């Protein structure tokens, strides 16, 4: 009888549980034991759903949990909750762990999966660890924030009723959280050190988001850096301090983005990229380690447009990685070719999307390019509900290859970015894109889809630039 | 001084006016005279918008006109309204025309553009030409229908108030017109000889449309053929007759599709394809005729998935063709690589989309394929407004190349077909599609976009089929 191999997974969210489940579907318990270590209280949940839970769109925490520990256990996966991995010994093929009970112990593995996710950026400012300052990365974070909000709201009701929140950072999470807090009745101030919110967009497109946030009554203060959180006599946060001003807050939410959580991996000497994410091969195997796999927010993936690796914290990739790792451990074959950098978000009815490179990124990579912006409508102009949308498109000079698209608009704008995402994957030129056979009917699109209109203008700009060998 | 060349365009709608305008932008009046012959009352309008005008979504006829004759004239285009071309003499490079005034005359050309569009299929049934039987191809048709509806509604008000309409044909136009008539308060019966409505979809997907039409109170009778229109003593249509039954109607709308309008071209001996559409080269020049161009609903275009030419009557292609013809006549360069067969439509809140090949088409082309259908949601399942959608995907055996996608769902479903349209253009396999970097956020998509879920299932089916060399 062959001995039973053991797969140990660190992290019980998207990547970890997808890997465990995919491997389990391929290999029975008589051949493979699967142990998942999860330090929190939840498995397989949607972090991306937290802002909507806070806003009240999602009724409760359970709704965000796709599959709980017991459900995974019933499928033959040994899920150990409140259990943290504290050290890796890749030479000895073992993980040191600390469970909810007594001390620490070592657990051997044949295959190790690192699915440790990301941690919110938390700058080392005075007061940053005070009560009332919240990140929103995990479901545990979300639960803590919701409890704090409910207490702040009770306090406010006993005073003048005003609820005040400061959000530090105006990226995706910051913007989504701002909206959620506005909808809970807060006066919200968002602070960001950049000239415009949403630095995942070029500044001219970020300005459109800024205007929309103004329209929601969100005070967006750009070009400022938080220097401290001022706390009251009870130790709770009372205001966020910048060089020039102080912004009173019953609640402070950190939306400064995330970094790969690779402390263990670093200590174990595993290969990390420039941004601190684990480096893997295309099968999601950690480089140079035949029995260690990694995926999700803790790895760097190949950005195929930039030709470089970088971390991309998104549930959709985390799930794909998990599937791929599980398939490979289970004896099947799968690879992850990389990303093109697609992201989509929403502030009230404003849809914000991007894929590929920003202008600054393209310039930093040594690319010469042309950029155009068009304003069009989401539907035929005469059809009810037609909404204006802006599409910005960047193409490489000479080759005319698509480099990136950014979209800001209303209903029906955001997911149009997918056309550009596929075009980037396929390496299409903007000239080729002008004849794409996209769906047309008045309730769905003008006769020229906004993406086609942008492609036509970009193709024209590429041709014009061909005549100027040294110009921009 | 060089002599002035003359460009003559037959047909003043999308292709014709786009060609005229594009050429005019490139070449001044001192070099090129542009004459457009339009037999109707309108130029540059949206035929596709007619159902929404009838339904009351679009306030009036003028809204559907993008640019009237005078506007074109002010840009240096000699637009001659109510002027019909009655013969072509390609050897003599001249067109015979009949204007609103006296007799006929010949007009010479240096470049001829055939943009004669399509005509609605009108089977030679008894009573088919009676008053009260309407097609909806041109704006003139739409105006006539609206007047007839208003009269029928006045008559109904003087009776029992019931308004009854029969729509013959349950394709895009038939289905859109059915909804429009329901919204005007009609009891609508749709007759189609196929087993399901929307034969642009496979029958299993058409069934979903059928169910939705039932839900709207539209009576859809399938598997029947109209044999006559019964008329009353006043000569007006009173009912549509089939072999088994008779369907009373105050108004009869024909939605049997359209055929290329190529009577003139046929008489002049120009090359036509199997479906009667003009055959052109990739620059939209009529094959074998260096000074004759054609585009829009009157031509056959290359379906790059099927590898054959066929007519595709859609405003978006008609506009592209016009641009290309105008660019080429104007001394620039442009080509039309073909279509992949994308179409999208709507019945109330049901969105219906397709691209590529149906199963029957694929089989008819000698292809072996696998087909899968998935049911998913348009947004994260927990996000408000998440709606079920069905995605059907077909992939070639062996190669795994995507062959087609059909989508039926609610808000946010239809335009997802564009991802498949780009993938078809790029020749992606369903395996490649599983790792597409599509936009993900809970308001926009589940963590696996429905198209990705379908691709995963299709890729699995391709792998499974590889093990069955002779099976299906």
Is B336 in Cβ contact with A46 (below 8 Å)?
no
pLDDT tens digits for B268-285?
A: 999 999 999 999 999 999
Tell me the chain B residues in contact with residue A379 when contact means C-beta distances shorter than 8 Å.
Answer: none
Least CA distance to B429: which residue of chain A? Answer: A426
User: In this predicted model, what pLDDT tens digit does every residue of A375-398 receive, in sequence order?
Assistant: 999 999 999 999 999 999 999 999
Half-sphere exposure of residue B120: CA atoms within 13 angstroms, side-chain side: 23
Closest by alpha carbon to B11, among B263, B330, B336, B287?
A: B263
Token digits for B340? Answer: 């992949």
- Which of A340, A382, A438 is closest, CB to CB, to B49? A382
Q: Once rounded to an integer, what is the mean pLDDT over residues A257-282?
A: 97
- ipTM, 2 decimals? 0.94
Q: Residue A103: its pLDDT value, please?
A: 87
Q: Does residue B3 carry a pLDDT above 90?
A: no
Enumerate the residues of chain A whose CB falls inside 8 A of the CB of residue B425: 426, 428, 432, 436-437
In CATH terms, is domain B343-464 a member of 3.30.230.10? no
Residue A45 has phi, psi (to 5 degrees) of: -125, 170
Residue of A nearest to B444 (CA): A415
Q: What is the pLDDT of residue B467?
A: 72
Report how many Cβ contacts below 8 Å link chain A to chain B: 194
B421 vs A contacts (CB less than 8 Å): 436-439
Contact residues, chain B, for A440 at CB < 8 Å:
48, 314-316, 342, 344
Give the angle B341-B343-B349 at the CA atoms, nearest 5°.
160
Contact B438 A346 (CB under 8 A): no
Q: How far is B58 from chain A (nearest CA, A)?
A: 6
Q: Which of A26, A48, A156, A334 is catalytic?
A: A48
Whether B136 and B145 have beta carbons less than 8 Å apart is answered as yes
pLDDT tens figures, A208-237: 999 999 999 999 999 999 999 999 999 999
Distance of CA A327 to the CA centre of its chain: 24
Cβ of B442 and A320 within 8 Å? Answer: no
Q: Using the beta-carbon criterion (under 8 Å), do A343 and B316 form an inter-chain contact?
A: no
Q: Which residues from chain A sit within 8 angstroms of residue B432, using beta carbons? A: 337, 425
Instruction: Write down the pLDDT at residue B2.
Output: 62
Taking an 8 Å cut-off on Cβ atoms, the answer to whether B383 and A315 are in contact is no
Quick: pLDDT tens for B243-277: 999 999 999 999 999 999 999 999 999 999 999 99
φ/ψ region of B346 (left if φ > 0, alpha if ψ in -120 to 50, else beta) reads: beta
Nearest to B439 among A317, A344, A425 (CB): A344
Would you place residue A472 in the very low, low, confident or very high pLDDT band (cuts 50, 70, 90)? very low
pLDDT at B1 over 70: no
Cα→Cα distances B174→A258, A284, B353, Å: 52, 51, 16
- Contact status, residue A232 vs residue A238, Cβ threshold 8 Å: yes
Average pLDDT over residues B447-471: 89
Q: Do A435 and B48 touch (CB under 8 A)?
A: no
Would you say residue B471 has pLDDT above 70? no
Question: pLDDT grade, residue B47 (50/70/90)?
Answer: confident
> Under an 8 A CB cutoff, do B423 and A428 touch?
no
pLDDT in tens, B345-382: 999 889 999 999 999 999 999 999 999 999 999 999 99
- In this predicted structure, the answer to whether residue A471 has a pLDDT above a threshold of 90 is no
> How close does chain B come to A251, measured CA to CA in Å?
25
Partner-chain contact B57 A384, CB within 8 Å: yes
Place of tokens 């031509």: B299
Best mutation target, A180, A439, A440, A456, to test chain B (most B CBs within 10 A): A439
pLDDT, averaged across chain A: 95
Q: Are A336 and A316 in contact (CB under 8 A)?
A: no
* CA distances (Å), origin A387, targets A378, A393, A418, A446, B251: 5, 19, 19, 11, 35
Are A439 and B445 an interchain contact pair (Cβ–Cβ within 8 Å)?
no
Backbone angles phi, psi at A451, to 5 degrees: -70, -35
Chain B residues with CB under 8 Å of A447 CB are 14, 46, 48, 315-316, 319
Measured between beta carbons, the chain B residues lying within 8 angstroms of A380 are 46, 48-49
Is residue A4 a contact partner of residue A30, using CB atoms and an 8 Å limit? Answer: yes
B305 to chain A: nearest residue by CA?
A: A437
Which residues of chain B are within 8 Å of residue A434 when distances are taken between CB atoms? 320
| Contact assignment for A316 to B447 by CB distance below 8 Å | yes
The full DSSP string for B30-83 is: TTEEEEEE-SSS-SSB-GGGHHHHHHTSS--HHHHBSS-HHHHHHTT-EEETT-
In sequence order, the 6+-apart residues with CB closer than 8 A to the CB of A263 are none
Q: Which residues of A touch B49 (CB under 8 A)?
A: 380, 382-383, 442
Interatomic CA distance for residues B441 and A343, integer angstroms: 8
Task: For residue range A48-70, list pLDDT tens digits in order.
Answer: 899 999 999 999 999 999 999 99
Between CA B58 and CA B56 the distance in angstroms is: 5
3-state SS class at B21: helix
Q: Check CB contact under 8 Å for A412 and B416.
A: no
Q: Where in chain A is the domain with CATH 3.50.50.60?
A: 5-119+259-329, 133-256, 343-464
- Is B133-256 assigned to CATH 3.40.50.10320? no
Chain A closest CA to B407's CA: distance in Å?
A: 12
Name every residue whose Cβ is closer than 8 Å to that of residue A118 and which is 6 or more positions away in sequence: A137, A258, A259, A260, A261, A297, A298, A311, A313
Condensed to tens digits (0 to 9), the pLDDT of residues B98-126 reads 999 878 999 999 999 999 999 989 999 99
Mutate to test the interface with B, among A376, A384, A422, A459 (most CBs of B within 10 A): A422
Q: Closest approach of chain A CAs to the CA of B448, in angstroms?
A: 6
Rounded mean pLDDT, A97-105: 89
Inter-chain CB proximity B57 and A435 less than 8 Å: no
User: What pLDDT does B129 receive?
Assistant: 95
Q: Which of A359, A451, A362, A389 is nearest to A208 (CA)?
A: A389
pLDDT higher than threshold 70 for residue B469:
no
pLDDT band at A352 (very low <50, low <70, confident <90, very high): very high
Q: What is the pLDDT of residues B390-423, one digit of tens each?
A: 999 999 999 999 999 999 999 999 999 999 999 9
Shortest alpha-carbon distance between residue A247 and chain B (Å): 30
CA-closest candidate to residue B356, choices B322, B411, B312, B413: B312
Over residues B18-27, the pLDDT tens digits come to 999 999 999 9
> Are the beta carbons of A425 and B421 separated by less than 8 Å?
no
Question: CB-CB: which of A48, A339, A447 is closest to B441?
Answer: A48
Cβ contact (<8 Å) for B319 and A448? yes
Name which of A345, A422, A435 is nearest B320 (Cβ-Cβ).
A435
Q: pLDDT grade, residue A469 (50/70/90)?
A: low
pLDDT in tens, B120-179: 899 999 999 999 999 998 899 999 999 999 999 999 999 999 999 999 999 999 999 999
CATH 3.50.50.60, applies to A5-119+259-329: yes
Distance in angstroms (rounded) separating the CA atoms of residues A345 and A338: 21
Q: What is the mean pLDDT of residues A185-202?
A: 96
CB A175 within 8 A of CB A198: yes
Determine the Cα–Cα distance for residues B135 and B256; give it in Å rounded to an integer. 9
B48 assigned to active site: yes
Decide if pLDDT at A200 tops 70.
Answer: yes
Confidence check: pLDDT of A199 > 60: yes
Q: Which residue has the tokens 């004459």?
A: B35
> Would you call A447 and B382 a contact, using CB atoms and an 8 Å cutoff?
no
**Out of B46, B415, B442, whose CB is closest to A415?**
B415
Domain B5-118+259-329 coded CATH 3.40.1380.10: no
Residue A452 reports pLDDT greater than 90: yes
Residues B415, A336: C-beta atoms closer than 8 Å: no
DSSP string for residues in B302-371: EETTTTEEE----HHHHHHHHHHHHHHHTT-------B---EEEEETTEEEEEEE--HHHHHHTT--EEE
> Closest partner residue to A422 among B341, B419, B441, by Cβ?
B419
Q: Kindly list the distances between the CA atom of residue B109 and the CA atoms of A379, B22, B36, B292, in Å, as whole numbers in the listed order.
A: 38, 18, 11, 10
- How much is the pLDDT for A467? 72
For B316, the closest of A319, A422, A440 (CB atoms) is: A440
Closest-CA residue of chain B to A49: B442
pLDDT in tens, A17-36: 999 999 999 999 999 999 99
Q: How far is A353 from chain B (nearest CA, A)?
A: 8
DSSP state of A306: T
pLDDT of residue B472: 45
Candidate list B6, B33, B48, B308, residue with the active-site label: B48
- Lowest mean pLDDT: which of A136-145, A296-305, B300-309? A136-145
The nearest CA of chain A is from the CA of B341 a distance in Å of 7
CATH 3.50.50.60 residue window(s) in chain B: 5-118+259-329, 133-256, 343-464
Nearest residue of A to residue B445, measured between CA atoms: A415
Residue of B nearest to A416 (CA): B415
Interchain contact, A383 vs B342, CB within 8 Å: no
Contacts of A339 in chain B (CB under 8 A): 437
Q: Concatenate the DSSP letters of all residues of A421-435 into one string.
A: HHHHHHT-BHHHHTT
Asked if B25 contacts B330 with a C-beta cutoff of 8 angstroms, the reply is yes
């Amino acid at each position: 009888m062959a001995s039973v191999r053991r797969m140990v997974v660190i992290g019980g969210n998207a990547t970890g549980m997808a890997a465990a489940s995919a491997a389990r579907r391929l290999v029975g318990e008589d051949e493979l034991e699967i142990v998942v270590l999860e330090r929190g209280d939840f498995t397989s949940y949607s972090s991306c759903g937290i802002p909507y839970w806070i806003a009240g769109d999602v009724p409760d925490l359970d709704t965000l949990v796709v599959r709980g520990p017991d459900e995974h256990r019933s499928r033959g996966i040994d899920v150990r909750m409140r259990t943290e991995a504290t050290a890796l010994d890749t030479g000895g093929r073992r993980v040191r762990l600390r469970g909810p009970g007594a001390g620490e112990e070592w657990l051997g593995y044949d295959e190790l999966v690192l699915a440790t996710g990301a941690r919110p950026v938390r700058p080392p400012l005075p007061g940053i660890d005070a009560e009332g300052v919240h990140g929103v990365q995990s479901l545990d974070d979300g639960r803590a924030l919701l409890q704090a909000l409910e207490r702040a709201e009770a306090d406010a009701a006993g005073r003048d009723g005003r609820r005040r929140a400061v959000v530090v950072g105006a990226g995706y999470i910051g913007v989504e959280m701002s909206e959620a807090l506005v909808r809970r009745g807060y006066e919200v101030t968002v602070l960001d050190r950049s000239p415009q919110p949403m630095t995942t967009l070029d500044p001219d497109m970020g300005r459109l988001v800024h205007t929309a946030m103004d329209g929601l009554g969100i005070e967006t203060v750009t070009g400022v850096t938080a220097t401290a959180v001022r706390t009251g006599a009870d130790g709770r946060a009372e205001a966020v301090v910048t060089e020039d001003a102080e912004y009173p807050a019953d609640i402070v939410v950190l939306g400064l983005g995330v970094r790969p959580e690779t402390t263990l991996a670093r200590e174990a000497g595993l290969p990390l990229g420039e941004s601190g994410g684990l480096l893997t091969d295309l099968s999601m195997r950690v480089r140079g380690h035949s029995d260690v796999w990694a995926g999700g927010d803790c790895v760097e993936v190949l950005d195929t447009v930039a030709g470089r690796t970088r971390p991309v914290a998104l549930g959709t990739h985390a799930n794909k990685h998990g599937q791929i790792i599980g398939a490979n451990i289970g004896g099947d074959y799968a690879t992850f070719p990389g990303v093109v950098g697609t992201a989509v978000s929403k502030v009230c009815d404003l849809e914000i999307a991007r894929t590929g490179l920003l202008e600054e990124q393209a310039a930093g990579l040594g690319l010469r390019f042309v950029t155009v912006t068009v304003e069009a409508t989401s539907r035929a102009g005469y059809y009810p509900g037609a909404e204006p949308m802006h599409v910005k498109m960047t193409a490489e000079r000479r080759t005319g290859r698509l480099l990136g698209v950014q979209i800001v608009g209303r209903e029906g704008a955001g997911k149009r970015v997918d056309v550009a995402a596929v075009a980037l994957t396929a390496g299409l030129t903007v000239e080729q894109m002008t004849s794409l056979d996209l769906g047309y009917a008045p309730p769905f699109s003008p006769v020229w889809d906004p993406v086609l209109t942008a492609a036509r203008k970009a193709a024209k700009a590429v041709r014009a630039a061909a005549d100027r060998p040294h110009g921009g």
